[in-house]
Amino acid sequence: MWRAAAPALAACVLGAAVPGAAAAVLWSADAETGDLRQWRDGGGVVNSGSGSVTVTSGGAHSGRHAFRLAIRGADGTRPAQAARLFRWRIANGSPLPVDAWYSAAYRIPRAYRGMRWWNVMQWKTKISGARNDPAFVLNIGQGRRPGLMRLYLWDAIASRNRGTSPIDVPAGRWFHVQVRYRWSAGHTGSVTVVQDGRRVISVTGVRTAYPSLQREARQWSVNNYTDRIVPSAATVLLDDVAIAGPDAIPTPLPLSLAPGR
């Protein structure tokens, strides 16, 4: 969701509403083709274990269709189960930009618990032809009270939590996630997370990629990926997935979809 910019934009702070700005959408997928063709040519489906990605009709974030990512058997006794949709190129065949916004609308049908980690978005570096390692991961974890869930940003390079959203992940309705990600194998990378039109996590001066000479070294995916969750069968709906230019500032959602509504 992007809109034209006002002539001047006020500075934003964590938790403050984010004004709109012009944005060039570099790639997008809305499932309205009724299949997964929007993910081909520079991306694809990468499942593990029971993971399954399909297109469902009815109850979409916009239009008629959405992507359905499903796993089962994630009970902590076996390897991780994963349904993943990857991008390593944008629409014109270019690699992912060094600096860009990555966004998706999510719908978690119910509250889940018991997850050690639950990866719903990630940025990876292709190290070799057979190896790609996560750099940063946006996970869903337990909220402050039983039955609540929250996003948190995991730095896989430094092996530490870089921040937890103050906004709960709603069960049973759509919410919107937008992340500005600047890739850097040095300590000049940055990550800003916007949830439902509000900045909730921001980190700067960090490594956000591993050194690599590989083609398509920068990779991004939206996921339903965990080794333990209760119940052990979990579903994530996705819609309106996009990569946009670095000068974009996300548009707040309508009040009817704002947190707490």
238-251 pLDDT per residue, tens: 999 999 999 876 55
pLDDT at position 92, please? 84
**pLDDT at residue 125 greater than cutoff 70:** yes
pLDDT per residue as tens digits for the range 187-222: 999 999 999 999 999 999 999 999 999 999 999 999
**pLDDT at residue 16 greater than cutoff 90:** no
Question: Hey, what are 59's tokens?
Answer: 């109850």
Question: Hey, what are 209's tokens?
Answer: 């990629």
Partners of 174 in the β-ladder: 107
Beta strand 81-87 pairing with 131-142: unpaired
**pLDDT at residue 144 greater than cutoff 90:** no
State residue 47 phi and psi, 5-degree precision. -105, 155
Q: Output 256 or 184, whichever has higher pLDDT.
A: 184
Tell me if residue 169 falls in helix, strand or coil: strand
Question: By percentage, how much of the chain surpasses pLDDT 90?
Answer: 81
| Residue-range domain boundaries for the chain | 25-247
pLDDT per residue as tens digits for the range 35-74: 999 999 999 999 999 999 999 998 999 999 999 999 999 9
For residues 108 and 102, the answer to whether their CB atoms sit within 8 Å is no
Nearest-5° Cα angle at 65, 179 to 175: 35
pLDDT at position 250, please? 56
- Measured between alpha carbons, how far is 58 from 61 in angstroms, rounded to an integer? 9
Which CATH class name applies to 25-247?
A: mainly beta
Which residue carries 């065949």 as its tokens?
93
Helix (H), strand (E) counts: the chain: 0, 15
- Let me know how long the chain is: 261
Beta strand 234-244 pairing with 131-142: unpaired
For residues 260 and 18, the answer to whether their CB atoms sit within 8 Å is no
Q: Which residues contact 105 (CB under 8 A, 6 or more apart)?
A: 61, 62, 174, 175, 176, 177, 238, 239, 240, 241
Q: Where does the pLDDT of residue 81 fall: very low under 50, low under 70, confident under 90, or very high at 90 and above? A: very high
Q: How many other C-beta atoms can be found within 10 angstroms of the C-beta atom of residue 58?
A: 7
Burial degree of 198 (CB within 10 A; 0-12, 13-18, 19+)? buried
Q: What is the 3-state secondary structure (H, E, C) of 20-77?
A: CCCCCEEEEECCCCCCCHHHCCCEEECCECCCEEEEEECCCCCCCEEEEEEECCCECC
Over residues 114-140, the mean pLDDT reads 96
Average pLDDT, the chain: 88
pLDDT at position 146, please? 81
Cis peptide before 170 (omega within 30 of 0): no
